[in-house]
Structure 1
Amino acid sequence: MTAARSAPTAAVLVVGIGADGWEGLPDAARRALLDAEVVLGGPRQLDLLPPECAAERVPWPSPLRPAVPGLLAAHADRRIAVLASGDPMFHGIGRTLTEVLGPGAVHVLPHPSSVSHACARLGWPVEDVQVVTLVGRPTARLAAALHDGRRLLVLSADAGTPGEIAALLRDRGFGPSRMRVLEQLGGVKERTGEAGTADGWPEHSAPDPLNIVAVECRRAPGTLRLGAVPGLPDEAFEHDGQLTK
């Protein structure tokens, strides 16, 4: 009976890559990928590798997290590299790998994140922005971040996310909020769309699936202020003056 392989003991190299692809990688990241025997990553990231990168390319399955230990164990005797979008430690695969293997078994070469690129384009200080990810999460989780005057950067799940964000803003009384969709940041196809309000957001807009949404929160006049903690004030309900507490 063959013994099961353990997870790799050598460091797994995690390389952040942007929309600019191979050309945007520093020499150290290129050398590491050229030296790898197997490269794990999403199909979009793997397609950015040039032909001279001869490693076996293994796309992540879905769901990803349960499959990680098995995939790493299956290639434990090979030099493993992992491709990730932008900074792997910022809403990326880096967190999963360090939790599975431990920080000492993972070596990360980060790339500027989409948030860094977006703030650079918008002129927003990174420390003044709240980031919300909707990748694999319901759009409703954005509601807790809505406060008048707040700047948000929302990581989109796909091309439909900006429209869903606009609908939620209108529903929550933040229709005057200004939105801007930034696509393919850092790449040759980069596009920074014109700003518009959630109230006037085009119903059938079709941005690139690789996008991030900038929101400047503006509450509509007369909109009830709701707290971030559970529970609603009496004014949030239609009633005749008598409420059961």
Structure 2
Amino acid sequence: MNSISVRALLVRGMLAGLVAGFFALVVAYLLGESPVDSAIAFEEAHSHEHGGEELVSRAMQSTAGLATGVLVFGVAIGGIAALAFCVALGRIGRFGPRATAALVSLGALLAVYVVPFLKYPPNPPAVGDPETIGKRTTVYFLMIVLSVLLAVAAVILGKRLAPRLGNWNATVAAAAAFIAAAGIAFAFLPSFNEVPKDFPATVVWDFRLATLAIQVTLWTFFALVFGHLAERLLVPSAARTAAAESSTPSRTASAAG
């Protein structure tokens, strides 16, 4: 793949990330703001310090601040995923641009978010000891790095085992190795349980489900939009037309049958 194609895919990845970020923003506003408000109300009700002036109002945080954060994150993660797509295309199997985009998005969702989520689930405001925030942040990003490295190692292992075991068995073996290695990391990394005893459990649950829904929405729309844009760039229009025409008779025949 030449540098022009990589540059074009990077731009399309950032554009797809922006579109995906918009849909994730909608989910964040509809599902995430309510538990955040409940957590802030709990924090204010149990705080011994009152009357402090907010540097940024809550209204600004829940609108412009939220939009800026989600959209910038979408653009950044879209560019990174586009570069990962360039590396993966043609190297993880005989998949086209759409399928490769879907696989990269699924792998990113699992490695970058779901696996770290299982070890260190996010907490709403008022949860967590301020004195441990540095340590918690460090081990969380360490878990992300480990998860990504283990995912890459699993893909390499699966490719090397495929000639001997077949694609299916090699995939199962690589997935099992990934789960086992992630389990070892879970066992050795420290855990934190800093939810106050009287903090509403439903608020924690709703907040964590909201963050998961945001990530699923982000990566789903990125896969759909970027897969479409990448296919239009990499697959000639004549080939797309021929593929569509070749599939039309089979659909017509199956409908007639």
Q: Which has the higher contact order (CA 8 A, sep 6+)?
A: 2
TM-score (norm 2): 0.24
TM-score (norm 1): 0.25
Higher strand share: 1
Higher helix share: 2
